[in-house]
Amino acid sequence: MPDTAPEVDFDHHSAEYASDPWATNIAMNTRCPVAHSSHHGGFWLVTGFQQVSEVAHQPQLFSSAHELPNKPGRPQGTVVPASSFRGLPLEIDPPEFLEWRKALNVFFSPTAARKLRPRIAQYASWCVDQHIESGEIDLVMDLSNPVPALITLDIVGLPMDDWRLYADVVHALVYTHPGTPEFDRVEAGFAQLIETVRELIPKRRANPGDDFISFLTQLEIGGRKISDEDILATCNAVIPGGVDTTTALLASTLDHLDRNRADRRRLIDSPELIPGTCDEFLRYFTPVMGAGRTVMEDAEIGGCPVKAGDRVLLSWAAANLDARVFPQPDAVDLDRDARKQAAFGIGVHRCIGRHIARMDFEVVIGEVLRRLPDYHLVEGEAERYSTVGQINGYVKMPARFTPGPRMGPHVETATELHSLMG
């Protein structure tokens, strides 16, 4: 190891990190914004906002590409340790990446997100309706997870009857420890979900609709239609990215508003402020904690020499707590201008689904504060993820509130609701 690079005992999947990632991240970006850890085969940990930004803006040196099977010294994608799945277009680099991104924007642009708002609102209202008369709800399992899952399945074109199965698998995939039998079981469940996509591909090629899978079956990159494997890899990224990242942001925000009633009252009294607070909640409760890169040629990060084939973990969460950019980073300040936050990533690979995630946030938080304004979490019942190595969120979050009336159509299944929406 070079003398300029401290060796740290840092494991982003450890229970110690999960117990208080804020304190750890602030300590790291303050004392050693670039360090090396021997965990998970060894990787460079980058936590300072400036250093994270410099790496993220150099895809030619620090690659997001993912070659399968995973091999030491070769590009292993954006997850540390490397996933056995490949996600597109997240795990390819320019110039090919730019063609993919331009093509997919038809589904993920700000205009597309605005068009989805009425559907998101109907899903959110339906989820609340299932519980509002009882006075009890799990804010994760009954709301923050279902709404992003339902809109994602709607966009992708997967069967709505199976939404709970898909949502639960994606939810468990991010909070289960890699390298354990349970993770293998969950990963097998996700593989089964992807097999459903595989079975739909020939049907949508023959009879395309207006869903995302149909779009992919007709998509041409470099003058040629993309392969079935590339369609699967795209769904590998879009489905998890559209579900549990937003689930985590919503749950953490609702937890904060339970513990900070003045902030809740302010947003109830002035709901027009909700969209503007999204960046500050993203900054403090960064859902996707970081992203991996592979060094393509010998280079430096913050003065620390790195070698071709080395793995790098860019900590979006730590960068968002850098006091040099965000004064008093360990406090949520609804008046802060947090537009520079790195929760969606930095550089060309910035999250393609961010506009839909913002719309989910605006709609769901607004629905809760409008219809469950006095909600309170059941003491001791909320369960955080045991590993926040990928996503920082909650497994469950039971809450109680004053019962109220249903407001939407009396339909029992998501498929019936989807049919009503047309």
Summarised one tens digit per residue, pLDDT across range 259-311 is: 999 999 999 999 999 999 999 999 999 999 999 999 999 999 999 999 999 99
Q: Which residue has the tokens 């393609």?
A: 352
In the chain, pLDDT over 90 holds for what percent of residues? 84
Query: pLDDT band for position 139 (50/70/90)?
Result: very high
Q: Which of 249, 244, 310 is nearest to 44 (CA)?
A: 310
Distance CA 121, CA 367 (A): 8
The mean per-residue pLDDT over the stretch 3-26 comes to 92
Question: Measured on CA atoms in the order 410, 414, 416, 419, is the torsion positive or negative?
Answer: positive
Q: What is the per-residue pLDDT for 161? A: 82
Q: Note whether residue 165 is domain-resident.
A: yes
Tell me: the pLDDT tens digits for 387-419?
999 999 999 999 999 999 999 998 989 889 999
Q: Flag whether pLDDT at 421 surpasses 60.
A: yes
Q: What is the per-residue pLDDT for 206? A: 96
Tokens of 116: 């989805």
The mean per-residue pLDDT over the stretch 217-236 comes to 95
Distance CA 139, CA 355 (A): 22
Q: Note whether residue 60 is domain-resident.
A: no
Query: pLDDT band for position 163 (50/70/90)?
Result: confident
Q: What is the per-residue pLDDT for 245? A: 93
3-state secondary structure of 137: strand
Q: What is the per-residue pLDDT for 142? A: 96
Q: Which of 257, 248, 246 is nearest to 368 (CA)?
A: 257
Q: Which of 43, 63, 41, 34 is nearest to 318 (CA)?
A: 34
Q: What is the per-residue pLDDT for 169? A: 81
Are 187 and 84 in contact, with CB atoms under 8 Å apart?
A: yes
Q: What is the per-residue pLDDT for 242? A: 81
Angstrom CA distances, 54 to 60, 107, 291, 301, 354, stand at 12, 29, 14, 8, 21
Q: Which residue has the tokens 């947090």?
A: 338
- What DSSP character marks residue 83? P
Query: Phi first, then psi: what are they for 111, rounded to 5°?
Result: -65, -45
Q: Flag whether pLDDT at 2 surpasses 90.
A: no
Tell me: the pLDDT tens digits for 327-379?
999 999 999 999 999 999 999 999 999 999 999 999 999 999 999 999 999 99
Count of structural domains, the chain:
1
**Burial track 198-216 (b if 16+ CB lie within 10 A, e otherwise):** eebbeebbeeeeebbbbbb
Q: Note whether residue 239 is domain-resident.
A: yes
Q: Which of 196, 275, 288 is nearest to 240 (CA)?
A: 288
Tell me: the pLDDT tens digits for 272-285?
999 999 999 999 99
Q: Flag whether pLDDT at 1 surpasses 70.
A: no
Q: What is the per-residue pLDDT for 145? A: 92
Q: Note whether residue 346 is domain-resident.
A: yes
Q: Which residues contact 371 (CB under 8 A, 6 or more apart)?
A: 128, 132, 404, 407
Q: Note whether residue 21 is domain-resident.
A: no
Distance CA 23, CA 14 (A): 14
One DSSP character per residue, 280-310 reads: HHHHHT-SB-EEEEEE-SSEEETTEEE-TT-
Angstrom CA distances, 216 to 86, 89, 211, 264, 372, stand at 16, 12, 9, 42, 39
The mean per-residue pLDDT over the stretch 52-71 comes to 97
How do beta strands 220-221 and 383-384 pair?
A: unpaired
**Burial track 104-118 (b if 16+ CB lie within 10 A, e otherwise):** beebbeeeebeebee
Q: Note whether residue 100 is domain-resident.
A: yes
Q: Note whether residue 44 is domain-resident.
A: no
Angstrom CA distances, 161 to 154, 157, 242, 247, 338, stand at 11, 12, 18, 20, 39
The mean per-residue pLDDT over the stretch 143-169 comes to 89
In this structure, which amino acid lies at residue 53? S
Range of the domain at 403: 88-301+342-421
Are 236 and 87 in contact, with CB atoms under 8 Å apart?
A: yes
- What DSSP character marks residue 143? I
Q: What is the per-residue pLDDT for 186? A: 83
Q: Flag whether pLDDT at 207 surpasses 70.
A: yes
Q: Which of 391, 380, 412 is nearest to 145 (CA)?
A: 391
- What DSSP character marks residue 177? P
Are 313 and 25 in contact, with CB atoms under 8 Å apart?
A: no
Query: pLDDT band for position 193 (50/70/90)?
Result: confident
Across 119-128, 175-184, 216-225, least confident range: 175-184
CATH number for 186 = 1.10.630.10
Q: What is the per-residue pLDDT for 422? A: 77
Q: Note whether residue 335 is domain-resident.
A: no
Q: Flag whether pLDDT at 226 surpasses 60.
A: yes
3-state secondary structure of 385: coil
The mean per-residue pLDDT over the stretch 185-193 comes to 83
CA angle 35, 40, 41 (to 5 degrees): 85
